[in-house]
Structure 1
Amino acid sequence: TRAALVDSLLMLNDLRAEYYPNYAVAAMNTKGQYMTQFYKDPKALYEGLGKIVAVNQEKTKPSLLLLQLNSAIDMFKDGNLGAEEVINTYQNAIALIGKAEQTEDVVKTKGDIEGLFITSQVASCDNLIALFTPRYEADPENIELVTNIVKMMGNTEGCQNNDLFLKAVTKMHANEPSAASAYYLYKLHASKDENDTAVKYLEEALAFPDLDSQTKANYQLELATFCTKNGMNGKAFSAAMKAAELDPANQGKAYYLIGTIWGSVRCGGNEVERRANYWVAVDYLQKAKAADESLTADCNRLIGSYSVYYPQKAEAFMYDIVDGQSYSVNCGGMHATTTVRTQK
């Protein structure tokens, strides 16, 4: 029968491994390949390959590690294997393949193993936290472990807003700093309302010399927007100006942002000095709609709101200030030269 023939093939490889130790690894790998061809039951394949992996360790043929994981996932989906066992199978496969010589085939199979596990969605965030927290605490300097945590938790929906993930990303960034990891840390800290730390990382991302000008312009605009929302007007103004300089396509949004910053800042001094910021705000809103027509309606609405705060002509006259005159404004860590306008 077919079953008897399969048993004979498998036994031949057992005998070969037993009597010819030098060929034991190859015999076990061949046995595993026969199993993947003839075993249709996921449980039988999972357990059979598990015995081969236990013997051959890092000398296990990479495709067998992939197929062992696949059978574990099939069992999980059928309710015959727990999530932790699947995660352990995955972890063991990654550890063993990491010890093997990193040929093109091995590297590809490692990527296939990671992709299979991630897309299977076996690991819930709670499972990953329970699995990785003790491992991280035991060996926080293990960069391979840290990278694995970031990759797995980063690809698991809703699994980025926790302390373990933040620690792992921070450790990975400290070991191999990049603009991308600094930007990611900005997003993570921003989501936790840790605004000063978030800004620190976004500024760090901007400092990388290999950052292309388009990305730099977008980061500057994002920094300006974030700082505006969080009351850091001086930084917001500076970042928005840089965003406008770096990319003309950003000028409309950048100038609009600067207009709202100047419109919301509170300035001290006399009646004119306290209202001079509205002249600057309107200047930038006019520039914003000239740069980006889609902003015209929003700009006109704000211009209408801000212009009612212009000083009265008589008030300005008391300070020897008249319409059309050049005027310097220093307020909230910002400086601008504008033109005097009064309410008629």
Structure 2
Amino acid sequence: MNTKVLFAIAAGLVLSTTNVSAQATDCATTASIAYEHAKVKNYDAAEEPLWKVRKECPTHSVATFQFGKKLLESKYKKAAAGEKTALANDMIALWKERLQYFPAKTKVGDMHSDIGQIMYDNKIGTKDSQFAEFDKAYKEDKTNFKRPKKLYTYFSLLVDLQSEGKKELQDVFTLYDDITEKIEDEESKKAKKIATLTEKEESGATLSSKEKRSLKNNGINLKAFSQVKGGINQKLGELADCKNLIPLYNGQFEGKKTDINWLKGAAGRMSAKECTEDPLFFRLVEALHKADPSAKSAYYLGILALKDKKTTKALEYFNQSAQLETKASDKAKVYFRIGEVMKKKGSYGKARSYYKKALANKPSLGTAYLRIASMVAKSANNCGADVFSKRAVYWLAANYANKGAKVDPSLKKTAAAAAANYKAKAPSKTDIFNNPGITSVKIGCWIGETVKVPKL
């Protein structure tokens, strides 16, 4: 090879390297300009350089797609109705490009559920294609599929497809159980944080600004999950009523009577909908206990014992169920049921201990707080030493009712009404003035708690 040829090749390599280096420098500069504008939400200035980086050097940084998403979301919020579909398609394209260039930094659950919601909101594609996005997100990355609105849309689409004959009723029940469990897990996490911070606040400690934000945000999110759970139950509607469950499960029983998961689901749904009077429920429980003696079968046997007014036997089954149960939310359900039995018997102290065990396993179970509040209020005359302390019992009842509202926003109105009723019966401002020096009241009998005198 002669010298001229070698020189030409070398020159070409140098030029190529120089061009690549220059392009990389240009990308970095353009990206820096775009990101700085996007950070302060100056999207008008950020748009041109950001899309230039996206087109010419998409692998430069995942930040291109992160800021691009925020930019498009901002435009979408401000856009007229006729402009939203085009922007929605832009967002879908952006998500797919991010997955293409940064698969390790893209959460499949977040991406596909986001795409599904965008499609649903803008009537893009069919219900089948919209559902497919949510289904992929949920089945492949359930952890990152947790936005309340998306969970509702996913379930709503399935119910719609079932009504069109494209999905089986059993598919609806299966997803309902799974999503409800996921929502309740999220509710418990948030309710636990709320309960912890509320107790700290009630003890007289000052919450930090970070803790105050956490208390507020967890309250907002808990309310959203509570609303979605209510929406999902409403969407399920009559599909899960006894009139549909009984013929469905009667038809499936012979072929499924050794399928433990099916038996658990069928018995659980019939129990939840109070279809326990039908002979099918006994057959389900009997088959379940035979196939897999467990916490679930013991619980259902307890229900049947209660039905036959065999309270002692029912409590034996319920306590056995609670000991065997490994799932926190189901353990809470068993403890709550025992609490209900004890409350009905008038054993308030035992009932409270079981309600509290239920709350320890499911902190969002606000109904348990309302039950305790009710028992405390009913015991005012028996547990107070004098007129003032007897009426002070109602402050404690009100405190329990308020706790119920904090951990379960769906109970807000009911809890507020109960708390107001209890406070009306508690000592007035004049009563407090006439009993100077009393800052707290120790309440006796089964209650055994001390309540602070509030500043009225």
Question: Taking structure 1 as the reference length, what is the TM-score of the superposition?
Answer: 0.45
Say which one has the larger Rg. 1
Q: Flag the structure with higher helix content.
A: 2
